[in-house]
Structure 1
Amino acid sequence: MKINFSLFKQTLTVAAAAVAIALTGCGGDGDKFEVIKPTPLAPPTPPVAPPILPAFDSDGVLQANIRWTDYGVPHVTADNLESMSFGVGYAFAQDNLCILADQIIKYNSERSKYLGPDRNPGTGDSEHLINDFGFLTLGIRELAEQNLATLSANSRAMLSGYTKGFNRYLNETGAANIDPSCANQPWVQDIDSTDLLTYSMGVALLPGAANFLGPMFIAAPPGENPFPTPVAAAPGMSLEQGLPFKIEPTIAIPERNPQDMGSNGWGLGSDKTENGMGMVLGNPHFPHTGNLRFWQFHTTIPGYLNVMGGSLMGLPGAVNIGFNENVAWTHTFSTAEHFVVYQLQLDATDANNLTHSVDGSKRTIYKKELMIDVAVAPGQTIKLKKNTYTTNYGPMIVVPGNFEWEAGGSAFAIKDANLPNYDVLDHWLAMNLATDMTEFKQAFKDYDGVIFNNTMAASKSGEVFYIDDSTVPGLTATALNALATNPALIQIKQAAGFTVLPGFISAFDFNAPVPYASAPKYEGTDYVQNSNDSFWLTNFENPITGVSPLYGQVGNEQSLRSRMAHKLLANASGSDGKFNMMEVEEALLSNRNYLSEAILPELLSICQANREDDIDVSGRTINLGEGCDALTAWDSTMNIDSVGAHVFREFAFQFRRNPQWAVAYDVSDVLNTPRGLVDNSVTVMQLATAVDKIERAGIALDATLGEVQFVEKSTAAGLPSGERLPWGGAHNVEGGFNVFSTSTSNNGTELPRHTYPAMDNSSILSADAQGYHITSGSSWIFIANFTEDGPVAKGLLTYSQSHNPGSEQSDDQTKLYSLQPQLRPLRFTEADIAANLVKEVNITSAVQE
């Protein structure tokens, strides 16, 4: 949808002016006023790492023991952080070397150097140019180079060890013998700590500035060509002839969550578990391909650290989501905003349009020339240059028709609270090391590195804790009040999907993220939960309010998945109202869905009443009879043997576009509204459209879900493997809890893969696939329950450990789930590891003779 912000500019200017007036003194000389500026906050002093935890290896020779148990899970033991990370990096490289190598060139701005200017060669999409100039504009590589030495000893040790382990595997195995997806590619090279820190800083920007690389690419003052030009003539061309390729990017308003990341998370306390000890359910819904895959591992530094779980690609040694002997935790993708777009007021006297004003004082828009190498033929590159522009807020952006750089008028810049964020490794390591809930909470007081996540945790003693400590701009009271009360700012946020503030008054600026004390939190002994709605109903009996609106909404209608989560918490624990592990696993994997439980009887009645009618759907005559029979036979779940489940799903996709609820949302009955189904022509047409789509796709209406929904891995060349694994699981559209979906969009890497196009944009059904090709959803799943004998855990990595299609670990867990949705035991104790040992190696960084 195109949004013309020019309609709002005058209103926004007036709004900012009104705030400026409100900030002036009420008495004294009317020609003089004082602008209240935000008080600069001193950067927090990083806490000193506990000296008892060895960071670096004492003699410089790293050593680690790695034991692999069933399903390819490595258990790494070492006597210091650097050696532990050395082992983790080595084991990770066996499974996913290609993904991290791809990400290193992405964030180092070298995609064009190795892969040419376009993601789709010859199209002029310029995606690689946009990537490379974009991350140079953000300056993450430069920041990593400048600040690596200032990081904590723990962070530097983990970066150092992990990269050495990664390199050890690559050099030991040889580039010709690794995953064939990237074997012998020139961009597969040794990496170092600066590379990995750059990568970490880039990941921190995923929900923010990283989505604005296109608008940064075309940001230039009026009259200036924003596109790059050659530094020297390309081979066989003169400089006047320009480039041997076209530059025709499509730039639109960015999405805040383009990869549709989501999750479910529960923390159950002593009041909600049968044994009175803490339990956690972790259920991230992340892409199954690309740069946001999880990987499972277990690390031990005897006497200091013993933690198991899963982490995103390339996190050097720390567990993102998992458990130790005392605390378990998980994360969900937060509704919070992590950046602000600022509308600048340009100085009309500057003909170059490179000056704006803040509180009446002139500020410079700085120009910087950037250069990259671009492949134009095998073995040939040319060097391109372009200007980039930044302000006191951050990079300038342009979106044609919406955010324009207008001569003497307005322009726009983006400021991201995660640029830079050096706390990521220290924050997760502190969680990994926590010996009780007090220490776990202290990690959030000391650091702000959870970047874009809610956190839910439970302890051995039965405490639960929730916090949205994602990195959120710490706006002033003036700015927060304006966001809550000013119609123009409210309207712009609704239209854009993110906050836009006046940049010509300093009171709208921020100097630091929201501190721990002001973040939404809950603690107790009952429960915490989140399914990607806001913090508000983390605990339904104790709603959270009174925090910055940048964290998300209060009083809003909940998603169907969130309502399913609350329903499961209320009724899936048996007659005693307390959960055991089996009940939590059944709640997740029963594949119930909220929408069918809410409206299926009414839908069946409507369907039967119209089953003999001929209904025109875009020129096709549709009869509902067979569809009604399939829905009648359906068991209301999304399991592989569920007949007709896809008929309901396709109806749900149509219903979402124009919901026909009989009872509207009521904030006083939030978990039960909206409800009921209206019997009208719209509902009948939605049913007919669902039947029509399925018939046009050539799929039987009475097929089972396992015949329609499947996982199919790609070959190393990105072709369909031909092996389709039936897949149980729901979708967000029907309000499932254990949800999956399909995506054909950019998965963040350039590694080859296959996709099947959807029939249209109204659902994910593909005629080419003859169903739903699952590529995202429930990924790293685990349940951990503390007992008197230590934590007991089950889990699964639905897409398996390895990206390498030649590895047994590329699909072993996938096949296990396909047979029947289930979790497997997690081998945490020494006895369990020994009983399930598959392979063991000792590795060292010493030069091998």
Structure 2
Amino acid sequence: MLTALLFVTLTAVQSPDSAEALAARVEIVRTEYGIPHILADDLKAMGFGLGYVQSEDFGASIATGLIERRGTYARYTGAGALDDDFVARELHARAVRTFSRLDPRAQAVYAGFAEGVNQYVRLHREEFPEWMPADFTGVDALARDVQTWSRADAARFVRSHEAAQEGRTPNPSPEELLEAEAFVLDGSNAWAVDGSRTESGNAILLRNPHLSWATDAPLLTRPSGSTYYEAHVRVPGVLEFYGDFRIGTAFGIIGGFNARLGWATTNNYPRYSQVYALEAHPTLPDHAVLDGRPLPLEERRRTADYRAEDGSVATETRSTWWTEHGPVIHRDADRVFVLKDPRDGEFRRGEQFLRMMAATSLDEWLEVMRMRAHPSSNFTYADADGNIAHYYNARLPLLPHAATGDTAAIATRTSDIWSELVPWDDLPLYLNPPGGYVQQANDTPDFTNLNVPLDRDTVAANLPEPRLRLRSQLSLELIGGTDRVALEALNRKKHTARMPMAERVMDDLLRLLRAARSDGGDDVSQAVEILDAWDRTASAESRGGVLFKEWALHYLDAPEANGLWAEPWDLTRPTETPRGIGNEAWAILAMDSAFAGLRADGIEPDAAWGDVHRVIRGDVDEPASGCEPTLGCFRALSFRDTEDGRREANRGDAWVLWVEFADDRPHGRTVLSYGQTAREESPHYDEQAGMFARGELK
């Protein structure tokens, strides 16, 4: 018996998949600022190292994220997690079915990542609750990259449909309000310039995503999904890549560079899902009618267990109904409503990013992009051969009918329902355009380069309508032109604190305030004095921006949003509009509200921007330049109120990556506002926060 046990133990140690064997095939060196450099013999060992170092820096949150993706979090924490668990169990089941279909190289990274997390749990049991397992698999890691149909689109349709049936306007749900806020506040900036625009003659790439900093999240216990992890990975003869991974994932949404090329991602916002209205069968229950024949609806029942309040284990079973075309999201007496989403079931996102990381040329990279396994991002590109590019990446359905928005398309035949994607070549691709630049700041691809207007007749018909908001307009002004600049000068441009909304309305606002001064009292007179002297920026030392921002947020919160601009945005003058104040009476009322709001918070209306707006992390408490994208700042920062009446940056600009592709090797510069770890006792917790506040790079 002892001999048999010894044999089993030795076999486990010698297994190439054991934690000990994987650890022996990877070397991890942390350099200044705690950045991990992972040198591995193979991709599984690379994944092992990545899972382990993320756990070192973010504790139990990495393993907890894998528990969540199994759909078993409620088992340990209670019924409050059941909604998420039911969705996660659907995704995990798909991961089980599809893992073997992945490229073996991607399988290796996922499996290694899971084992790296397992090993950290085994070696640091004191950091974890007793129930935390150490048996995660590559399937669990893959489940974080499996995509699903949009519950938000389904809920929005149902609310809109029911409101229309009742003759009323639908009220947005809390989830829709959060989604709308994210559309305004989240996103990214990306630039690529070719050698004709740089002093060195080399192409330069900027990656600058804007998401939540998760300052309210307990990042040592729960993953946020929106935060970035800086790392350098190398497998000799296979790949070498420097960039960002999403915390808690083997891949997530990745940007960065290898020796030959790099890319940045920016959110795109097309309408992916389409709802179809099918006739309900008049006599057969749980059937629709399609092609003149009964179409059965399939009930899928799923059971999840959860921890009851008395500590016992309870279960709940829920049903969803499906057709071969997608989930049934609503039924009434006459219709069955089915949602079809081209993202549903896509599982190859990590595989695509892995292939992109290993690509060595533009042609190879573009071929990988044809997978479109990650549909929610645009991609901006630069390489060592001097190429720059921007691709509007999306899995758009090729609709056999006009897009219907939040209403349903009638489907009586299978041919009424989309079955293919818009061809890859029908989506906008800008490759080495004149002017030597491409840019993206989360607006439509029409204005990626002003020298090359997008011909809408040559691209997919269901692209979003043209849009160019103030941040994008400033981006074009900053990156356009003919000057040749160095990376340091580009970084100064990127960190400009200009506030375009102020530039567009200030003449009108001052005119209105001066006219109202005789009736408006001391506040109006003070507003004129402060704003007339202000430089129209959100620079830390600037005085006037605090008052203007407070006014602007009240003004933009008008009961009727239409008519706020004297000249609304005009497609024929895309970089000159909107401008001017359209609702003059509301503008005066908004100034009254601005003074009242600042007084309530104990803030002087002429306070320096940086005295109020701060970057606060650990021992760092420094003035911040930059403002909300609503106001047009390219250095897009959003803030939350602090207990002492100040504003703390908590969203937006956080991760800045520059890379210049020189002849010998790429040269990268970065800064990550919230640092490399969530462990407050670590010097790497707050050491980059001050650099970020000052616009410096490491």
What's the TM-score bracket when you normalise by the shorter of the two chains?
Answer: 0.7 to 0.9
**Which residue of 462, 486, 505 maps to 2:413?**
505
**Which residue of 601, 614, 617 maps to 1:710?**
614
SS in 2 for 1:299: strand
Q: Distance in 2 between matches of 1:217 and 1:542?
A: 40
What aligned pairs does 1:138-157 form with structure 2 within 5 A after superposition? 139-157=90-108
Which one-letter code corresponds to 1:426 in the other structure?
E
Deviation at 1:214, TM superposition (A): 6.8
What aligned pairs does 1:110-259 form with structure 2 within 5 A after superposition? 110-118=72-80, 128-136=81-89, 139-172=90-123, 174-177=124-127, 183-184=128-129, 186-187=131-132, 189-201=134-146, 204-205=147-148, 209-211=150-152, 259=182
Which stretch shows the higher mean deviation, 731-740 or 505-514? 505-514
Q: Distance in 1 between matches of 2:53 and 2:154?
A: 33
The structure-2 alpha-carbon separation of the partners of 1:258 and 1:561, relative to structure 1 and needing over 3 Å to count, comes to: closer
Cross-structure match for 2:497 = 591
Please say if residues 544 and 607 of structure 2, whose CA atoms lie closer than 8 Å, have aligned partners that are also in contact.
Answer: yes
**Which residue of 39, 54, 60 maps to 1:77?**
39
C-alpha deviations, 1:398-457, integer Å up to 9, x for none? Answer: 4xxxxxx212x1232322212211221221112211212122212113x22222000000
Please say if residues 130 and 214 of structure 1, whose CA atoms lie closer than 8 Å, have aligned partners that are also in contact.
Answer: no
Q: Structure 2: give runs of 5+ residues left out of the alignment.
A: 1-15, 160-172, 215-223
The structure-2 alpha-carbon separation of the partners of 1:410 and 1:258, relative to structure 1 and needing over 3 Å to count, comes to: farther
C-alpha deviations, 1:636-695, integer Å up to 9, x for none? Answer: 221222223221112222343445433343322211122234693333223222222222
1:454 aligns with 2:378: yes
**Which residue of 778, 782, 786 maps to 2:661?**
786
Please say if residues 232 and 241 of structure 2, whose CA atoms lie closer than 8 Å, have aligned partners that are also in contact.
Answer: yes
The structure-2 alpha-carbon separation of the partners of 1:623 and 1:541, relative to structure 1 and needing over 3 Å to count, comes to: same
Cross-structure match for 1:105 = 67
The structure-2 alpha-carbon separation of the partners of 1:370 and 1:610, relative to structure 1 and needing over 3 Å to count, comes to: same
The structure-2 alpha-carbon separation of the partners of 1:797 and 1:586, relative to structure 1 and needing over 3 Å to count, comes to: same
Q: Distance in 1 between matches of 2:550 and 2:355?
A: 45
Q: Distance in 2 between matches of 1:324 and 1:470?
A: 24
SS in 2 for 1:369: strand
Cross-structure match for 2:625 = 728
Which one-letter code corresponds to 1:628 in the other structure?
V
What aligned pairs does 1:591-630 form with structure 2 within 5 A after superposition? 591-614=497-520, 623-630=523-530
**Which residue of 543, 546, 554 maps to 1:646?**
546
SS in 1 for 2:278: strand
SS in 2 for 1:176: helix
Q: Distance in 1 between matches of 2:130 and 2:677?
A: 19
SS in 2 for 1:667: coil
C-alpha deviations, 1:520-556, integer Å up to 9, x for none? Answer: 21111522111111111111211222322443223x4
1:95 aligns with 2:95: no
**Which residue of 21, 25, 44 maps to 1:61?**
21
Which one-letter code corresponds to 2:21 in the other structure?
V
Relative CO higher for 1 or 2, CA cutoff 8 Å, sep ≥ 6?
A: 1
Which one-letter code corresponds to 1:501 in the other structure?
A
The structure-2 alpha-carbon separation of the partners of 1:258 and 1:159, relative to structure 1 and needing over 3 Å to count, comes to: farther
Q: Distance in 1 between matches of 2:252 and 2:590?
A: 48
Q: Distance in 1 between matches of 2:623 and 2:670?
A: 20
**Which residue of 599, 619, 641 maps to 1:695?**
599
Which stretch shows the higher mean deviation, 634-643 or 420-429? 634-643
SS in 2 for 1:349: coil
Q: Distance in 1 between matches of 2:348 and 2:420?
A: 13
SS in 2 for 1:604: helix
Cross-structure match for 1:548 = 460
Deviation at 1:210, TM superposition (A): 5.0
Cross-structure match for 2:473 = 563
SS in 1 for 2:199: coil
1:406 aligns with 2:332: yes
Deviation at 1:176, TM superposition (A): 1.5
1:313 aligns with 2:217: no
1:463 aligns with 2:387: yes
Q: Distance in 2 between matches of 1:815 and 1:580?
A: 24
Cross-structure match for 1:578 = 484
Deviation at 1:389, TM superposition (A): 1.4
TM-score (norm 1): 0.71
Cross-structure match for 1:536 = 446
The structure-2 alpha-carbon separation of the partners of 1:778 and 1:373, relative to structure 1 and needing over 3 Å to count, comes to: same
Q: Distance in 1 between matches of 2:29 and 2:594?
A: 51
Q: Distance in 2 between matches of 1:455 and 1:469?
A: 7
Deviation at 1:273, TM superposition (A): 2.1
SS in 1 for 2:480: helix
The structure-2 alpha-carbon separation of the partners of 1:112 and 1:679, relative to structure 1 and needing over 3 Å to count, comes to: closer
The structure-2 alpha-carbon separation of the partners of 1:58 and 1:370, relative to structure 1 and needing over 3 Å to count, comes to: closer
Deviation at 1:345, TM superposition (A): 2.3
Please say if residues 598 and 605 of structure 2, whose CA atoms lie closer than 8 Å, have aligned partners that are also in contact.
Answer: yes
User: For this pair of structures, how many residues does the alignment match?
Assistant: 649
**Which residue of 630, 637, 644 maps to 1:740?**
637
Structure with the bigger percentage of helix: 2
Which one-letter code corresponds to 1:682 in the other structure?
W
C-alpha deviations, 1:14-43, integer Å up to 9, x for none? Answer: xxxxxxxxxxxxxxxxxxxxxxxxxxxxxx
Q: Distance in 2 between matches of 1:665 and 1:214?
A: 30
Q: Distance in 1 between matches of 2:178 and 2:43?
A: 38
Which one-letter code corresponds to 1:694 in the other structure?
L
Which one-letter code corresponds to 1:61 in the other structure?
A
SS in 2 for 1:792: strand
SS in 2 for 1:465: strand
Deviation at 1:156, TM superposition (A): 0.6
Cross-structure match for 1:270 = 195
Cross-structure match for 1:822 = 696
**Which residue of 415, 432, 452 maps to 1:524?**
432
Deviation at 1:736, TM superposition (A): 0.5
SS in 1 for 2:241: strand
The structure-2 alpha-carbon separation of the partners of 1:739 and 1:623, relative to structure 1 and needing over 3 Å to count, comes to: same
C-alpha deviations, 1:283-324, integer Å up to 9, x for none? Answer: 101111122111000111223322111121234268811111
SS in 2 for 1:330: strand
Deviation at 1:712, TM superposition (A): 4.4
Please say if residues 620 and 686 of structure 2, whose CA atoms lie closer than 8 Å, have aligned partners that are also in contact.
Answer: no
Please say if residues 279 and 328 of structure 1, whose CA atoms lie closer than 8 Å, have aligned partners that are also in contact.
Answer: no
The structure-2 alpha-carbon separation of the partners of 1:773 and 1:360, relative to structure 1 and needing over 3 Å to count, comes to: farther
The structure-2 alpha-carbon separation of the partners of 1:337 and 1:598, relative to structure 1 and needing over 3 Å to count, comes to: same
The structure-2 alpha-carbon separation of the partners of 1:60 and 1:547, relative to structure 1 and needing over 3 Å to count, comes to: farther
SS in 2 for 1:157: helix
Which one-letter code corresponds to 1:73 in the other structure?
I
Please say if residues 54 and 62 of structure 2, whose CA atoms lie closer than 8 Å, have aligned partners that are also in contact.
Answer: no
Q: Distance in 2 between matches of 1:733 and 1:809?
A: 32
Cross-structure match for 2:355 = 430
